Amino acid sequence: MSIQEVSLSIHSSQKSKDDADKVEESLRDFISKLISYYDKFKISMSEITKFEEKISRSETLLEVFDVMKEMFEDLMEHLADQR
C-alpha cells in the first residue's frame, strides 16, 4: 500500500469516526429533548429509567431508534391523556 493510499484510508477512517460522533451527538440531543418533555409534563421518571435501561442494552443503532420511537409514542399517549 502506498503512502497516499494509507493517507486516504486514514482520512476516510477519521471521516467515518467524525460522522459516527455526529450521529451519536444528534441521538443524545433528541433523547435529551424527549426527557425534557417528560419532565415538563410531569411524567413519572420511572418511565425514563425504563427507556434508559433499554437503550443501554441496545446493541445496534436500529435498536436505539426503536427505543426512541417507543419513548415518543409513550410521550404522545401521556400528552393525549392529559387533554
Instruction: List, for residues 11-65, the tens digit of each pLDDT value.
Output: 556 667 777 788 888 888 998 999 999 899 888 889 889 999 999 999 988 899 9
**Could you list the residue range(s) of the whole structural domain that residue 9 is in?**
3-81
Contact of 54 with 67, CB cutoff 8 Å: yes
- Give the CA-trace dihedral at 20, 24, 29, 32, to 10 degrees: 170
Specify the pTM: 0.72
Residues in the chain: 83
What is the number of structural domains in the chain?
A: 1
CB 36 within 8 A of CB 77: no
